[in-house]
Amino acid sequence: SAAVFYFETSFTQDFSKSFKIMVRGVFAIEVQKPTSYFRLFGDVLYHYPCGLGQVISGSFGVTARIGDLNIPSAVASATFFCEVQGMKEPRVIADLDIPEPSTFVKGFTIEHLQIHIEAYYEPPPLNAVKIEDPLMLASESP
C-alpha cells in the first residue's frame, strides 16, 4: 500500500485574495491472502480556488476476490470543470466501466457495464424573477 501527494501553494501579502493551492496525488491499497485479494488504486487533482481552465478530478480502480465477491476490473472517474457555464461544454463528466463479468453477491453477476454521464450548468439570467417559497408566503399571511 502506498500514497504519494504533491502540494503546491502560492500567495502574496494580501493572503485572503491571492491564496492558491494545488494538490495532486496517487494511491494504491493492496491486501492479498492465499484465497482472496483486494486492490484499490487511483489519483486525485484539486485546485483552490478553481478557476476557468482548471479541473478537480479523480479516478479509481478496484480488483477484488473475497468470498462470493469477484471484480476482475472496475474503473471510475469524474472531472469537474471549474467555472464552465452554458450548454457547449460539460461542467462534469463521470464514467464507470466494468469490462469483465463481475459477481457482487452470489447469484448476481454483471457481464459488462459502461456508464458515461455529462452534466451542464446554465445559470439563470441576471434579470430572472425570484420565485418566493410558497410555504414561506403561506406562513406569513394573516
Q: What share of the chain is helix, strand, coil (3-state, %, to 5)?
A: 10, 60, 35
CA atoms within 13 A on the CB side of 20: 10
At 29-84, the pLDDT tens digits run: 999 999 999 999 999 998 888 888 889 999 999 999 999 999 999 999 999 999 98
Residue, of 122 and 117, whose pLDDT is higher:
117
Angle, vertex CA 62, rays to CA 58 and CA 63, nearest 5: 160
Q: Is the pLDDT of residue 95 over 70?
A: yes
- Split at pLDDT 50, 70, 90, the class of 128 is low
pLDDT of residue 137: 54
Q: Alpha-carbon distance 22 to 109, whole Å? A: 40
CA atoms within 13 A on the CB side of 2: 2
On whether the CB atoms of residues 56 and 81 are closer than 8 A, the answer is: no
pLDDT of residue 140: 54
Cell of 69: 465477491
Residue, of 131 and 88, whose pLDDT is higher:
88
Q: Alpha-carbon distance 134 to 9, whole Å? A: 46
